[in-house]
């Protein structure tokens, strides 16, 4: 009830205040991994103050809605939000931040649907443009997803290099305990595992677990412990993973060889 009240309140704020509320509250919900609630907030904001907000803010809302759909495995919804975003950005220059954000989101959709060559094409464009205009967040997000493509196509050395760069940027931009930093550590651990660097993978996962004991981090850590011949510790770790998980549960895309089914991407 309180959340619904806040949504109604946000829809009656002036456009600038409404967008600030969406950014601030949305960040909290995303850090708590409440993807459905964050999506509801962004959609309410889009309907309430989106028509009065600057086009950049409207595009941010649409790509945010796309990412929240990704995180819930709702790919049809993600595609629908991106289709709306594509209509909104046609008059923007191709090297503008909104185009970079859109291409990152489009590449993420290609990535989770297995169209790796299309994803890589878009991500290379984002990497080049984001570096030129100094958009560090978009640069890191693109490197994160590019490393996923490279990992899945067997280019582990370059994937490792790109994930290290993404991690360094995320730590600099967000600090040491942010969700993005945690995901980057998990991603790095998977690449390290595929390279046979199990002790390095263990250290990366300990960094991730120091931020939050998420199911994907715990599952990856158990696999690493198995490879280090520490089966008793691995069983203890697995006992801490919930047998059933809420609908918000996702798996980092580079945890795929370990845990399996759902892919995790980064678009913003």
**CA torsion sign, 13 to 17 to 20 to 21?**
negative
Instruction: Tell me which residue of 98, 38, 99 sits closest to 68, measured CA to CA.
Output: 38
Higher pLDDT, 27 or 1: 27
Q: How far apart are the first and last CA of the chain?
A: 29
Q: How far apart are CA 191 and CA 119, in angstroms?
A: 19
Q: What is the pLDDT of residues 54-74, one digit of tens each?
A: 888 888 899 999 989 988 889
Instruction: Tell me which residue of 192, 236, 239, 183 sits closest to 214, measured CA to CA.
Output: 183
Higher pLDDT, 181 or 18: 181
Q: What is the pLDDT of residues 172-227, one digit of tens each?
A: 999 999 988 999 999 999 999 999 999 999 999 999 999 999 999 999 999 999 99
Q: How many residues does the chain have?
A: 268
Structure tokens at 255: 């945890």
Q: How far apart are CA 164 and CA 6, in angstroms?
A: 39
Q: CATH homologous superfamily for 100-259?
A: Tetratricopeptide repeat domain (1.25.40.10)
Global pTM?
Answer: 0.78
Q: How far apart are CA 225 and CA 49, in angstroms?
A: 50
Task: Calculate the CA 96 to chain-centre distance.
Answer: 21
Mean pLDDT of the chain: 85
Please give the torsion angle defined by the CA atoms of residues 38, 40, 41 and 42, in that order, rounded to the nearest 10 degrees: 90
What mean pLDDT do residues 82-110 have? 89
Q: How far apart are CA 136 and CA 180, in angstroms?
A: 13
Q: How wide is the angle at C-alpha 220 spanned by C-alphas 176 and 264, nearest 5°?
A: 70
The model's confidence at residue 268, banded by pLDDT at 50, 70 and 90, is low
**CA torsion sign, 52 to 54 to 56 to 57?**
negative
Q: Determine the pLDDT at residue 192.
A: 97
Q: Determine what percent of the chain falls in helix, strand and coil, rounding each to the nearest 5.
A: 75, 0, 25
Q: What is the pLDDT of residues 133-176, one digit of tens each?
A: 999 999 999 999 999 999 999 999 999 999 999 999 999 999 99
């Amino acid at each position: 009830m309180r959340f619904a009240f806040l949504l109604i309140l946000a829809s009656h704020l002036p456009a600038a205040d409404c967008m600030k509320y969406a950014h601030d509250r949305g960040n909290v919900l995303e850090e708590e991994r409440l993807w459905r609630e964050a999506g509801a907030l962004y959609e309410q904001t889009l309907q309430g103050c989106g028509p009065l907000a600057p086009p950049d803010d409207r595009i941010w809302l649409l790509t945010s809605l796309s990412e929240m759909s990704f995180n819930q495995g709702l790919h049809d919804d993600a595609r629908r939000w991106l289709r709306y975003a594509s209509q909104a950005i046609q008059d923007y220059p191709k090297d503008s931040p909104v185009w970079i954000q859109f291409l990152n989101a489009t590449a993420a959709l290609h990535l989770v649907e297995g169209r790796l060559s299309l994803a890589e094409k878009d991500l290379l464009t984002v990497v080049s443009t984001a570096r030129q205009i100094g958009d560090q967040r978009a640069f890191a997000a693109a490197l994160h997803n590019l490393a996923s493509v490279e990992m899945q196509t067997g280019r582990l050395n370059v994937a490792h290099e790109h994930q290290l760069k993404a991690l360094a940027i995320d730590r600099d931009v967000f600090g040491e305990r942010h969700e993005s930093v945690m995901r980057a550590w998990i991603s790095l651990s998977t690449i390290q595992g595929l390279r046979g660097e199990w002790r390095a993978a263990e250290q990366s996962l300990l960094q991730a677990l120091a931020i939050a004991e998420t199911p994907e981090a715990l599952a990856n850590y158990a696999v690493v412990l198995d490879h280090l011949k520490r089966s008793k510790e691995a069983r203890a770790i697995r006992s801490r993973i919930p047998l059933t998980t809420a609908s918000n549960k996702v798996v980092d895309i580079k945890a795929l060889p370990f845990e399996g089914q759902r892919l995790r991407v980064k678009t913003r």
